[in-house]
Structure 1
Amino acid sequence: MNRRDFCRTVAAGALVASCGGCEKSGNTIGKLQSVWSRRGLVDGRLWRPRAMDVDADANVYIVDFTARIQVFTPAGEFLRGWQTPNYQNGKPTGITIEGDRLLVADTHYYRMLSYALDGTLIEDETIGGTEGHGPGEFGFVTDAVRDSTGAVYIAEYGDYDRIQKFTPEGDFVLQWGSHGADPGQFVRPQNLYVDPQDRIWVCDACNHRMQVFDTEGELLFMWGEEGTAPGQLSYPYDIAMDDAGRVILVEHGGNRVQVFTQEGESLGCWGESGRGPGQLDRPWALARDSTGRVHVLDTYNHRVQTITI
């Protein structure tokens, strides 16, 4: 069994543990606003959605297991959609909106795709496309983000487990990380977030922790330990921040959203295992829009749940 399959198997096994720790301790946070979409292949429905982000107008962009990118209103009304150019080898697992661009982690084609928000592929902004360990080559790409200078950071997992940095023009600058559990190492860096200080937050999913770096790849701090109690993490897969700088994480293994201070103190959580409203089944992603709503991608329930925190 290779590393990525091992991580996936362990994550699935973790689902037997209900994340009731927050409810039992009274440490709850968040209020359900709406539940939208359902399983299906037609426009407006979802099939195991895997990544999401929101634009300046609060519209929601989602990629699912069919390699469709669909755009919805905040209430879940379908607006438009398109398909990534290749998907026979596998489907994208990450998307990020940066200004007027949608950056797509085209995971199994070892590259980052760049789209205009209307779905037009900007081919000369593609980074990667070759599997390998060398600069500008990739394993399985999970996410891509930009800092305030326009520099691009791309995460990858598999035999690589690293982050590479590129100029705004797509030229390689540096890389950091390797497979492992030591500080600065990763086991499936699933999602990235650049905060207002240009610090790079990494969801180190299979190490059940967050690691934070400067733009040169120097580790600033880290926190997190495996578990389902408040303050512990079970496969953190995606991150957002609110206007107060609180860290909002979705846990793929814990079936919950948990809110932290930047120092790693738990402020509360929302969600539990299940299929009903307010329950989650292996969520992959979340996104916070300009109104403060948090959209949670409830992957194996094939839907989105929108909450306020």
Structure 2
Amino acid sequence: MHKPSRIDLAESDPIDRRQACQRMLAGATALLGLSSLNGCVASAMGGTPELVWGRRGLSDGRFLKPRAMAIDPDDQLYIVDTTGRIQVFDVDGQHLRTWKTPETANGRPTGMIFDGDRGRLLVADTHYYRMLAFAPTGEILPDDQIGGTSGDGPGEFAFVTDIAVDGDGCLYIGEYGASDRIQRFDPDGKFMAQWGGTGREVQHFVRPQSLVIHDKTLWIADACNHRVQRYDLSTTEPQWIGSWGHEGKQPGEFYYPYGIEVDSDGTVLVCEYGNQRIQRLTPDGEPISSWGAPGHDPGQLYQPWGLVVDSKRRVHVLDSNNHRVQRFTLPG
């Protein structure tokens, strides 16, 4: 077992070009001049992580391009990588257990959430058109699965991206590909509603990669539109509130935002795969601070995919192509 350390550098790895957004990114990175971001580390938070752990490998405690991360009420971290392994760690990176998703030949999951009210890990089994559910110990819960059929009808999916759960236990599942949309299901998995569709105009999406619910608001990282959209869930039908952000590398701009979280104080944290940084913003999209830069040193990132916030308001960043996790503490 690999023991976490304060400085646990990862080996570099070739860019994964399987997804459409990543193919676009590979051709456009130079145009945005990402190298100019070196040294643009954060104002309010600083760029030095308090803990860095993980490295490239196939044994327990190591990763091969981790793609999604969830956190449970006990601050245990659940991480899935491109081998299809789901590994569980304590908040300091000590490995606890491992299991695998049932199928991986078509592709691996890219999103997950821990449903604290029902004690389930919900996994976006992206290339199998479904949401899987597991007990925290790894047993699959077949009766809780949603989807499994490719299509654009109710309850069918293209490529599933992520899941969010509201206070009533309703599930919101994002997908990209033939159907860039959000589907809503009741706590028993029965289809309720859908909205979105592929497009650049607001209330449409191009790869809604990450979903999070906070105070009856659904936040969506509309990754390939380089923006954030939000919906009010306090009414009978979800109501669009607005969107902010556009393609760029300046504060408040985005380049492939793959992860989104909302802190307990209401500020929004956005993880950018393309700009290789984390931004902290007000609920209305005004930038507060940012940190990160392309690279392999502590505080630098290499195509990060997501982040979670624990009970002590520490931000855990899934530094995917560095095959590791970095932890930062929010101020205040």
**Which band: TM-score by shorter chain?**
over 0.9
Map Cα deviations across residues 119-176 of structure 1 (whole Å, 9 max, x no partner): 1111100000000010000000000111000001000001110000001000000100
Conservation of the 8 A alpha-carbon contact between 1:161 and 1:185: yes
Identity %: 50
1:87 is aligned to 104
- The one-letter code matched in structure 2 to 1:142 is T
Aligned pair partner of 1:256 in 277, 281, 302: 277
Following the alignment from structure 1 to structure 2, what is the Cα–Cα distance between the partners of residues 169 and 192? 20
Task: Answer yes or no: is 1:141 the counterpart of 2:155.
Answer: no
Q: CA 1:303/1:22 → structure 2, altered by over 3 Å: closer, same or farther?
A: closer
Task: Answer yes or no: is 1:117 the counterpart of 2:136.
Answer: yes
Conservation of the 8 A alpha-carbon contact between 1:132 and 1:138: yes
Map Cα deviations across residues 213-260 of structure 1 (whole Å, 9 max, x no partner): 123232111100111111111111111121211101100001001000
SS state at 2:250 partner: coil
Q: Which moved more, 1:22-31 or 1:255-264?
A: 22-31
Task: Answer yes or no: is 1:178 the counterpart of 2:194.
Answer: no
2:312 is aligned to 291
2:5 is aligned to none
Count how many residue pairs are aligned between Structure 1 and Structure 2: 305
Following the alignment from structure 1 to structure 2, what is the Cα–Cα distance between the partners of residues 181 and 212? 15
Aligned-residue RMSD, C-alpha: 1.7
Following the alignment from structure 2 to structure 1, what is the Cα–Cα distance between the partners of residues 35 and 261? 20
Aligned pair partner of 1:97 in 114, 117, 136: 114
- The one-letter code matched in structure 1 to 2:270 is L
Give ranges in structure 1 of 5+ residues lacking alignment. none
Which runs of structure 2 are paired with 1:1-309 in the superposition (5 Å)? 5-16=19-30, 17-18=33-34, 27=43, 29-30=45-46, 31-99=48-116, 100-196=119-215, 198-215=216-233, 216-309=237-330
Map Cα deviations across residues 153-206 of structure 1 (whole Å, 9 max, x no partner): 00000111000000100000010000011010000000100012x111100000
Conservation of the 8 A alpha-carbon contact between 2:40 and 2:292: no
Q: Which moved more, 1:215-224 or 1:127-136?
A: 215-224
SS state at 2:224 partner: helix
Following the alignment from structure 1 to structure 2, what is the Cα–Cα distance between the partners of residues 19 and 247? 25
SS state at 2:34 partner: coil
Conservation of the 8 A alpha-carbon contact between 1:22 and 1:268: no
- The one-letter code matched in structure 2 to 1:280 is L
Q: Which moved more, 1:10-19 or 1:28-37?
A: 10-19
Cα offset, 1:65, TM superposition: 0.2
Length-normalised TM-score, structure 2: 0.88
Cα offset, 1:18, TM superposition: 2.4
Conservation of the 8 A alpha-carbon contact between 1:281 and 1:301: yes
Length-normalised TM-score, structure 1: 0.95
- The one-letter code matched in structure 1 to 2:225 is N
Cα offset, 1:25, TM superposition: 9.4
